[in-house]
Structure 1
Amino acid sequence: MTTIAVTGHMDLAPEAAGPVRGELRMLLGEFEGDDLVGRSCLARGADALFAQEVLAIGGRLSAIIPSRDYRETEVREADLAEFDALLDAAQEVVVMPYDHAGRTAYEAANRRLLQGADRLVAVWDGSAPSGRGGGTADVVSAARAAGVRVDVVWPPEAVRTSTQT
């Protein structure tokens, strides 16, 4: 059994979805579906694309939800159906013990994301940490410090709509 966690930018431009999805598909293609657990916080952008690709190859999805109010306060109206579908498809759902989303909840969710992971896939443009904590660069740094293999996915066609992680 191989557990692969994901971190990545939420603000992928619409035209980036196809190229990112293609690279994720290639990366995950080396695994037998039932031998793969994909771990994701199910955020829009990179997390959701990764979760969809894990399910598409028959892998198991493990969802790490940062707080009890995450869906209500952090998931945009336009992303609710996708979030709910992925949450329903997850074979494991861990809701972190925080009432409200925020830096502490995100940092704890990211620690849980990496716990026992064999690899981390980072859909990441290489940008430095934002200083808010819990962002893509922070998770990559934590994974590397823990000795977890990091696979960076950032095809040449990938673009972000802002600098938010």
Structure 2
Amino acid sequence: MTRIGVTGHRSIPAAVEPSVRSGMCRLLRENGSLEALTSLAAGADQLFADIALASDVPVTAVIPGMDYEAHLGDAAAQAAYRRILGFCTVRVQLPAEPTDEEAYSAAGRWIVDHADRLVAVWDGRPARGPGGTGEVVAYARRTGVPVTVLWEPGVPRD
């Protein structure tokens, strides 16, 4: 079984979303027996989980810290998190970290450490903080996990 992890921006511009969706669908079609690994954050993580579930790919939720849901953003992101979490085959509850950023970093490292490949919905720019997409991609590359970047060149993130 191939395990595909995801990292990505919480906000995906409309100009990028169609190619991100098609890229995720292609990856899930081309890799045979799969498992999806995601922290279910708003944006790329929730999109990947929804596409995986619609493709009958089991999803493992990697939950960073004890009060993660409260930090997901608006009510819609929290509702989507609860909905998707209900369909996840496995839940990995990570121990509490001193800060939210350290918890997000730990979740990103866990996903990379357990993945055969990583899909990154990433504009190529440095992370805006610890645990950000750029940091997770750099960690994957340092540890030899192949990374597939899905983004339209020249489109800035929100």
Q: Structure 1 length normalisation: TM-score?
A: 0.87
Trace 1:5-154 onto structure 2 (pairs within 5 A).
5-14=5-14, 16-32=16-32, 35-98=33-96, 102-130=100-128, 132-154=129-151
Report the count of equivalent residues.
158
- 2:5/2:36 contact within 8 Å kept: yes
Distance in 1 between residues matched to 2:156 and 2:52, nearest whole Å? 22
**In angstroms, what is the RMSD of aligned CA positions?**
1.9
Distance in 2 between residues matched to 1:89 and 1:60, nearest whole Å? 9
1:89-124 CA distance string (max 9 Å, x none): 110111111177611111111111112210000011
Percent of aligned pairs with the same residue? 39
Distance in 2 between residues matched to 1:98 and 1:50, nearest whole Å? 25
Q: Which letter does structure 1 place at the counterpart of 2:85?
A: L
* Runs of 5+ unmatched residues, structure 2: none
- 2:42/2:72 contact within 8 Å kept: no
Distance in 2 between residues matched to 1:157 and 1:61, nearest whole Å? 31
Distance in 2 between residues matched to 1:89 and 1:157, nearest whole Å? 35
Partner-residue secondary structure (3-state), 1:51 = helix
Q: Which letter does structure 2 place at the counterpart of 1:151?
A: T
Q: Which letter does structure 1 place at the counterpart of 2:132?
A: G
- 1:19/1:157 contact within 8 Å kept: no
